[in-house]
Structure 1
């Protein structure tokens, strides 16, 4: 039984009655989303999982002779420690988050995953921070390097403007988005695999874009782009095989076959995901949304066990659950 099947079975059992709470907690401990039995701070022996009138139904308790009873929450030191949402609702939320990062709050409110939009936003922020931290660890290890001398893969680069849309042309513009709304994208294409690097930039000058390309693209990589003058002559000088397409004349260069359709499609998908998120008006949140999209492609989809398994792994890593 794979991870998704285990979760479906667990959700089905817990919906039938609250008497399955103990098995739910033990499953969380087995998957290392909750810490195991803690040590009593008085007698230094393992505490026991004991039934208690709380939202979880159980607490860690030590009532040995010689000292007063010592208790501890089953959520202590975990992702759920600052939340009152039931663990089964957290599990359902994590499962949906791993399905593609396209969360509709109205659907989750109807399914009673949380009682308010504010609670769902807090849950989303907590998971988003874990994904951002995991991507930062990957960047420290690998530098998010892409491309190479292989002819089977190439890098498509482009810039796109992200602007907050006002509903019915009403409401204030956010100054951060109006001033710093350009996003520079690099997309490695190899068969069906897509690995993006997305950076918010102040402008589209050569001094801004070329250092980003050199940081992430290996020397000798094949790069496809439009005829934006910031790339002209600069990329071949740094050891890249650079091909261009003039969009004022055609979409595909008839001589080289160069095109930017992969990254143009990617922009449409990325903007759709960002616009569906609530609270997407600030530059910092836009940056986090872009990092989550990169986490999904670099880590989530590259995990052989699936995106959900990768998310569980990153939660354990973030909260140091052994």
Structure 2
């Protein structure tokens, strides 16, 4: 993975709450590097967010078309162009104002930019838990829960938007379906929600998630052909919809979850995809 050099410019679109643009997928910046170069330096921090598409780099006044000036102290773009309403009146300053954070990941947040970025770093790491976030960032459990839920929603949307085949010869892809929804009166079985079909490659950790209307063989097979390369070893539970996979160019292994977590003969299991579901629900 290529290093992300501090101050390097990246061609990426603005990531807003309604737009999951792809940003800087080939760079790496360690937690230590971030602390040394960006922590406590607000100007560098804003530049980092702009270079990675998290904040807009420029804004134009909708009234006069003038390019606005970024005021870091006020965290906003402002238009200072002078104009005359009429020939008889003195010139006035436009004073159009646009918050630097409006429509972005940071809008509406009571946390500063640095804290939000640190939270995101911890959230996507392998060591995320409430105790660590409370200790490192001083956030309340309510704030941690809100940001965790929001981050999870964005990640789920990102996963669903991906369209890439995974697997191939000599690789193993685990597949499974899960239903995401609400429980009636918080007890009993799930009575409403959305079926999601997913798969994860053990070797590369690449995965896909696709909302489906049902779990029929025709529906799931269509998704499998779209997302999994032929000749892949596919591991699933014993759901009857998967019985056709051997006839479709895949090597198919199953595990009977009513009897074992791991098949005693083939060693087949779906622990990796099951973990993905748990991470999405936590």
Give the TM bin, normalised by the shorter chain.
0.5 to 0.7
Instruction: Give 1:35 deviation, angstroms.
Output: 1.0
| Deviation digits for residues 8-55 of structure 1 (CA, Å, limit 9, x no counterpart) | 22454x1xxxxx433432332233321123223444333333365xxx
Alignment match, 1:128: 152
Closer, same or farther in 2 for the Cα pair 1:153/1:39, shift >3 Å?
Answer: same
Q: Give the one of 11, 21, 27 matched to 2:48.
A: 27
Matching of residue 273 in structure 1 with residue 279 in structure 2? yes
Alignment match, 1:76: 102
Instruction: Give 1:92 deviation, angstroms.
Output: 1.0
Q: Which has the higher contact order (CA 8 A, sep 6+)?
A: 1
| d(CA) in 2 for partners of 1:72, 1:226 | 53
Q: Give the one of 216, 223, 236 matched to 2:234.
A: 223
Alignment match, 2:246: 236
Q: Give the one of 264, 276, 297 matched to 2:271.
A: 264
Q: Please give the residue correspondences for 1:182-193 in structure 2 after superposition, counting only pairs within 5 Å.
A: 186-189=199-202, 192-193=203-204
May I ask how many residue pairs the two structures share in their alignment?
243
Closer, same or farther in 2 for the Cα pair 1:79/1:225, shift >3 Å?
Answer: closer
| Deviation digits for residues 247-295 of structure 1 (CA, Å, limit 9, x no counterpart) | 8698343xxxx3313x23552x3365346x3xxxxxxxxxxxxxxxxxx
| d(CA) in 2 for partners of 1:126, 1:164 | 17
Matching of residue 153 in structure 1 with residue 163 in structure 2? no
SS of the residue 1:135 aligns to: helix
Say which structure is richer in helix: 1
Closer, same or farther in 2 for the Cα pair 1:174/1:63, shift >3 Å?
Answer: farther
Closer, same or farther in 2 for the Cα pair 1:203/1:51, shift >3 Å?
Answer: closer
Alignment match, 1:62: 79
Consecutive unaligned residues of structure 2, counting only runs of 5 or more, are 6-27, 83-90
Q: TM-score, normalised by structure 2?
A: 0.63
| d(CA) in 1 for partners of 2:278, 2:273 | 10
Checking the alignment, whether the CA contact within 8 Å between 2:230 and 2:250 is kept in structure 1 is yes
| d(CA) in 2 for partners of 1:36, 1:90 | 19
Checking the alignment, whether the CA contact within 8 Å between 1:226 and 1:260 is kept in structure 2 is no
Alignment match, 2:128: 103
SS of the residue 1:96 aligns to: helix
Checking the alignment, whether the CA contact within 8 Å between 1:157 and 1:187 is kept in structure 2 is yes
SS of the residue 1:111 aligns to: helix
Consecutive unaligned residues of structure 1, counting only runs of 5 or more, are 15-19, 166-170, 278-322
Alignment match, 1:314: none
Root-mean-square deviation (CA), in Å? 4.1
